C-alpha cells in the first residue's frame, strides 16, 4: 500500500466527516488541528504520520507528558479532540480506516478468559524478570493488541488459534519499523511460550510466529554543524526562568551527549561539585558513567539552581516551572529541544528528522572528526558496545584535525 502524506490523510478524513454529516463547528476544529500539525511536521521535515512525532506534538501543545495517544482522565474536551484527531491520522495512515469511536482511555482487556491469562503472564514477568516498567508496559500493550485481533476473529480459547490468526496478528504491526516488528514478535512468542509451558494450551503457539534474522544496524541521527549548535544555544534567553533551565538541559546534551531519559533522571546528588564530576547510571544500558562537569556547563547549572529552579524539596535537578513543579520527563526534555530548535530559526532540510538525540550524535561526530579514538568516544557516550560507536565511521570525515578531547573546546562554548 502506497504511503499517504499527512495532508492527504487529513483531506481524506475531512471528506469522510463531511459525508457523515459532521457539524461545521466540528469540521472547523479538526481542520485547524490537522493544518497546525501539518505545518509543525513540515517545519521539522516530516511528511508522513509518525506516532512519536504526534505524541511530541500533543505534549508540546498541551503541556502534558503522555507516552501514547490515550486520554489520562484529567484533560479538557479540547485535548480530547486533539488526541482523537491524532489517532484518526494514525489509523488512516496505516490502513485507510476512519474510526468512528475511540476509547478515551487505555482499556484493560475486557474478555475475562484473556484477561485472566494476561494477568498471570504479567505476574510471571514480575516474579521472574527484572524488567523496567516501560518494558512490561510494552509487552502488556502488544498482548492487548493481539487479544483484540483474536476477539475480532471470534477466537476465545488458546487452543483455537490457527496460523491464519497469527498472520492476522502480525499484519497489524507489519507496517512498523523492523526493530518494532522484531520486538512485537519476540513479546508475543514469549507470551505464547509461557502459556504452553504452564499448560494453558496444548500446542506451542509461539512456533507459529516467524523466526526473524534481523541484522541490527544502528542508524545515525541527523547532526548539526558547530555553527548551528552555537545558534541554537545563543537563541535561548538566559535571563528568563525557562531559559536558564533549558540552556542547562541542552548543554548537557551538547557537551556530554546525555540522552533525554538520563537528563530527566539526573538528581542533585549525582553532581560532585568538589571533584567537578557527574556520576550517573544510564537508563538504557544500566552502565555507570562518570563525566566531567565542564566549566560552562557547571555555571549554567548553578545559575539554574540559584536563580530559576523552584524552591521545593525534590531530589531531581530539572523541574517543571509551573506548579506542582514535577520532575521533567524524557518526553518533556524532547519537547524543550523541539521548541528551542523551532525558535532558533535554524533551517531544517525537508525530509530530515531532528530530535534531542541529534545533539548526542553531533558530539560523537565532531569528536570523531577530531580524530578521537572509537574506544574513547564509546567511553564518553557510554556505549554498551564499540559496535554502537562504529556507526560514526559511516559519516563524512573530511578535513580532520587533531585536538584535545574537550567538548568545551570542540564547540568553543
CA distances 250 to 286, 333, 392, Å, are: 22, 9, 21
- Phi, psi at residue 403, to the nearest 5°? -165, 160
Please identify which of the residues 259, 309, 340, 361 carries the catalytic annotation.
259
Please identify which of the residues 28, 32, 179, 284 carries the catalytic annotation.
284
Specify the residue for cell string 483484540: 148
Give yes or no: 28 in active site: no
Please identify which of the residues 84, 245, 360, 361 carries the catalytic annotation.
360
- 264: closest CA among 275, 254, 253? 253
Q: How far apart are alpha carbons 71 and 80 in whole angstroms? A: 7
Give yes or no: 175 in active site: no
CA angle 296, 300, 306 (to 5 degrees): 145
Give yes or no: 357 in active site: yes
Give yes or no: 216 in active site: no
Q: How far apart are alpha carbons 243 and 234 in whole angstroms? A: 11
The answer to whether the CB of 295 falls within 8 A of the CB of 408 is yes
Give yes or no: 392 in active site: yes
* 3-state percent breakdown (helix, strand, coil) of the chain, nearest 5: 55, 5, 40
* Three-state SS at 278: strand
Give yes or no: 138 in active site: no
The H helix count followed by the E strand count for the chain is 17, 3
- List, by residue number, the catalytic residues: 259, 284, 357, 360, 383, 392
Amino acid at each position: 500500500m502506497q504511503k499517504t502524506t499527512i495532508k492527504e490523510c487529513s483531506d481524506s478524513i475531512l471528506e469522510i466527516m463531511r459525508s457523515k454529516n459532521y457539524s461545521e463547528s466540528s469540521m472547523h476544529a479538526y481542520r485547524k488541528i490537522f493544518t497546525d500539525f501539518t505545518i509543525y511536521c513540515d517545519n521539522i521535515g516530516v511528511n508522513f504520520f509518525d506516532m512519536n512525532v504526534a505524541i511530541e506534538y500533543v505534549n508540546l501543545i498541551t503541556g502534558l507528558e503522555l507516552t501514547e495517544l490515550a486520554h489520562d482522565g484529567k484533560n479538557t474536551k479540547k485535548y480530547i479532540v486533539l488526541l482523537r484527531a491524532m489517532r484518526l491520522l494514525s489509523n488512516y495512515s496505516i490502513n485507510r480506516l476512519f474510526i468512528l469511536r475511540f476509547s478515551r482511555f487505555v482499556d484493560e482487556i475486557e474478555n475475562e478468559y484473556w484477561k485472566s491469562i494476561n494477568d498471570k503472564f504479567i505476574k510471571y514477568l514480575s516474579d521472574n524478570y527484572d524488567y523496567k516498567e516501560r518494558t512490561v508496559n510494552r509487552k502488556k500493550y502488544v498482548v492487548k493488541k493481539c487479544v483484540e485481533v483474536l476477539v475480532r476473529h471470534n477466537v476465545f480459547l488458546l487452543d483455537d488459534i490457527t496460523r491464519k490468526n497469527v498472520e492476522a496478528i502480525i499484519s497489524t504491526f507489519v507496517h512498523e519499523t523492523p526493530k518494532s516488528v522484531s520486538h512485537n514478535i519476540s513479546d508475543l512468542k514469549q507470551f505464547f511460550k509461557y502459556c504452553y509451558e504452564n499448560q494453558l494450551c496444548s500446542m506451542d503457539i509461539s512456533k507459529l510466529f516467524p523466526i526473524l534474522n534481523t541484522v541490527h544496524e544502528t542508524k545515525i541521527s541527523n547532526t548539526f554543524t558547530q555553527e548551528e549548535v552555537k545558534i541554537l544555544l545563543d537563541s535561548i534567553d538566559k535571563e528568563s526562568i525557562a531559559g536558564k533551565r533549558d540552556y542547562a538541559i541542552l548543554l548537557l546534551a551538547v557537551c556530554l551527549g546525555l540522552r533525554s531519559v538520563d537528563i530527566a533522571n539526573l538528581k542533585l546528588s549525582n553532581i560532585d561539585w568538589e571533584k567537578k564530576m557527574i556520576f550517573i547510571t544510564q537508563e538504557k544500558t544500566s552502565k555507570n558513567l562518570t563525566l566531567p562537569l565542564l566549566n560552562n556547563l557547571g555555571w549554567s547549572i548553578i545559575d539554574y539552581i540559584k536563580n530559576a529552579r523552584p524552591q521545593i524539596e525534590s531530589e531531581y535537578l530539572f523541574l517543571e516551572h509551573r506548579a506542582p513543579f514535577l520532575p521533567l520527563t524524557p518526553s518533556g526534555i524532547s519537547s524543550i529541544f523541539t521548541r528551542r530548535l523551532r525558535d532558533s530559526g535554524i533551517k531544517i532540510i525537508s525530509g530530515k528528522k531532528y530530535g534531542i538525540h541529534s545533539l548526542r550524535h553531533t558530539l560523537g561526530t565532531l569528536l570523531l572528526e577530531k580524530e578521537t579514538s572509537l574506544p574513547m568516544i564509546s567511553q564518553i557516550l557510554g556505549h554498551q558496545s564499540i559496535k554502537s560507536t562504529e556507526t560514526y565511521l559511516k559519516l563524512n570525515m573530511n578535513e580532520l584535525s587533531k585536538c584535545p578531547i574537550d567538548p568545551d573546546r570542540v564547540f568553543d562554548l
